[in-house]
Structure 1
Amino acid sequence: MAGSSCVDMDPDVALRLFEEGATLVLLGVPQGTELGIDCKSWQVGPRFRGVKMIPPGLHFLHFCSVNSPSCGGEIGPKSGLFLTLKPREILLAHWDPKEEDLDFSASKNDEEVNRIRSTLRELDPYLGPYPYEVMRKWVSLTDQISQELAVNLQPLSGRVCAFSDIIPELQFRHTKDRAEQPRNDTACQSMREGLDRLPKMKQREGTELRFSDIPKKTYPPGASPAEITRCSMDLSYSLETVLEQNYPDQPLNLLGELQFAFVCFLVGNVYEGFEHWKLLLALLCRSEDAMRKRKELYLGLITVLYHQLGEVPPDFFVDIVSQNNFLTSTLQVKAQSLEKLLNLKPQEVNGILALFSE
């Protein structure tokens, strides 16, 4: 990998990490491909064969294919996948030039994996070391994401993609199918009319992130006008609905989903992750009754937000149209409830909010 580096460490420690850490053997990745793991990425060089000394646990492997220099050398959209690696595990993948993707089917071939293991020392000069300088950051951003949760939230296709794979809702496979569709050869009178004439598109099944559904109705069936007003101001009913439908026994997994959405956006460049992160954060911060009931969840939220907000510039959340800072307004709602619901003193609340403004 071009530009790869490893923090200085004792040779004995490095040897132990080499022997105990997991190894990703990635064969045939084209030179110039942008490839990374967790919060670090590199441009693949001609000698690259994979990544070694990877600490066991959850990781996000991501890559962008690149055209040949003769075609401009343009970099494609980012794809990635979450992996949970065990100590001394070897995961083998071959680059598929047709799909511009990594094919991990070889990892199911025990004979081939054992062959790689037996020649691992010879392969060592071609393996880039895991970037331990980002390990603490990565752990702080993902400590609530379990292997099971990552599998459940990741698309069925196994790939987190920066751009949605969309297809027409109606598949016109033959010329006669398209010919039978009504046509209007007159000029469009408005942008809306032009958009209405375009084919209706949908995301390809199996490629969508499987986030929790946020209820559109914030109140229970048969609610009175007073209850509707109360549930519109305090979203605890909606939050409890989300927890009951998705995490009835493990409510802290909602923080894991918040982290998953943030990482998909921050590292995977998935805008959908940012939108879902905002929805979850607004839901949590506008649920006053839930704060009283679920103190552990909200104390965990403070820690999660502290680490997340350290990764983005302070003006990132400013809405271009309204110039209102989404994050400031959301946290202000939360701050009004922290003191009385979590039994915190005013100076403690101010100290917590000061952390987010650093």
Structure 2
Amino acid sequence: MKCCFLRRVLAGLLVLGMAGTAGAAPRQLNVYNWSDYIAQDTVPGFEHATGIQVRYDVYDSNETLQAKLLAGHSGYDVVVPSSNYAARQIAAGAYRKLDKSKLPNLRYLDPALMRLIADVDPGNQFVVPWAWGTTGLGYNIKLARAALGANAPLDSWDVLFKPENVAKLRPCGVSMLDSPADVFPAALHYLGRDPNSTNPADYQAALALLERIRPYITQFNSSGYINDLAGGDICLAYGWSGDVTIARHRAHEAHKPYEIRYVIPGGGAPVWFDVMAIPIDATHVDEALQWVNYIETPSVHAAITNAVFYPSANLAARKYVLPEVARDPSVYPPAPVMQSLYMLKPLPPDITRLQTRLWTTFKAGR
């Protein structure tokens, strides 16, 4: 009888254990990232590998992300700020220090690029690179040539910043990123000033330059311009390298009768990094670390590059990148072009506030 009683007790415990497992809430992860910035199989692949369910939301500006972070209780476990914004957020205590013992795939990261990121994250303690890219000019070549002339040099910032040039493009549509942190550095550099200037007078000069071209900007957009460019609704976009390359591929897949081309104008352009970080109020920290480590799996990161045309800092991923993507100079700029690029750096709060005020004035066109 004792034997049978023990069997009944053990069987009951087993049933209770199974019921507890069945009723347990699934593990979750909340990710907040830029739009058009991930491969189709990234989230399903992570969910399959880990059993963690992902809520994946998107934004189209650093300002949107920062407002959520600084308000507290963002509701996200992983976010992807640009490195110049991340520096200020780290200083404000917005992120958790990374437990690198749970991130073995960090060994694949390019030491040279990690040294650059260390300028904004000393010791690489808080952020891990997602991708990097440049900011330049995206053209509908057919429409731009028709407006500017067959022999007009498209590899010059004069196309955007000289009113007599950009005015010719207004009828076919001119789009500008809705981001002062991306526009002011290019304007400053065009004027021969420090693109990371902390001199308020430099920003007033940049505003004067921008106000001269304001009548010819037909939209401010940081995400929808991809489809606008692919669909022939605009002919010039000041935008991000991968976005314009996505537009090029979409136009090609739709058999459009024109070419979309990304150009880094002579004289240099901004280069930036977007980085993964775990907010200080994250509620699923272990899951967030698993996500960061999964993304740094070389084949996973390569699949993202193949989908959205932004390179990663993952050296081992390069061998999995499609040859046509690896050869594309809009994705991987050649060495001479790389030497002309300038990195966006964090600015003091007073300059950031000044940028915001001047940007409002510029957009209003007053």
Tell me the TM-score normalized by structure 2.
0.26
